[in-house]
Every structure is written in C-alpha cells, then in structure tokens.
Amino acid sequence: MVSPRFDPRPQPTLNRAKALCLSCRSCFKRDRSNEGYVCPSCGEEAVDIGSAFKAPRRDAQKQWALVLFLARNGYRYRKLGGPAPKNMAEARRRLALSGRPIIE
Ligand SMILES: [Zn+2]
C-alpha cells in the first residue's frame, strides 16, 4: 500500500507552482499549469522547479550551473524528495536513474 503522502493527485493547497526562468534565473510563483510558464522579466520559458527550491546567490556560478542543469533535465526540488544533488556528479547519477537522455 502506498503512503498517502506520496499521493500524486493535485492537492488544493499545492496549486501554486514555483517557476524558474532558464534564461535570466528569475524565480516566481504562478498557479499551476500544464502549459508551462513564461518569465515575467524576460518572456522566455520557465520551468516548474519545485516548491523546495531556494535560489542560490546570483554570483554562485557553480551552484547555478547545477540548478540549471537539473532544471533543463526536469528535476524538481521537492520537500519530500530528499536532499537535492549537491554536485554535477551526483546530479548525473540521479538523472541517469530516470533512463531519459541527459540534456547538457
Ligand atoms: Zn527570464
């Protein structure tokens, strides 16, 4: 039996998505949508980054490279997902588990 806290159905209290722009790194919240998100700052595509995402400092280049790599590959920062990968090697290992090709 599956624990109810892993229920994948939409929850009424979780209808806001945290989105991250892959171009300018703006982070913003929107009502959840299946059609994706558009950055309010630059108009480029933004992705659902997960509610547990905390943006690194703007000058933290290594951390941003890791965040953007994970975001491009569909990783979501979730409160129940355990600790996020801390470096590129760990990120690659985790993404490889999905079986999808990795987007560099
Ligand atoms: Zn943007």
Tokens coding 1: 């039996």
| Domains of the chain, residue spans | 16-96
Q: Tell me the CA end-to-end span of the chain in Å, nearest whole number.
A: 37
Q: What is the pLDDT of residues 44-90, one digit of tens each?
A: 999 999 999 999 999 999 999 999 999 999 999 998 888 999 999 99
Cα-to-centroid distance, 52 and ligand 1 (Å): 20
Dist CA 11 CA 83 (whole Å)? 22
- Structure token pair of residue 104: 């560099």
| Predicted local distance difference test score (pLDDT) of residue 20 | 97
pLDDT above 70 for 92: yes
What are the phi and psi torsion angles at 95 (to 5°)? Answer: -65, -35
Q: What distance in angstroms lies between residue 28's CA and the mean position of ligand 1's atoms? A: 10
Instruction: Compute the half-sphere exposure of residue 67: CA atoms within 13 Å on the CB side of its CA.
Output: 27
What average pLDDT does the structure give for the chain? 90
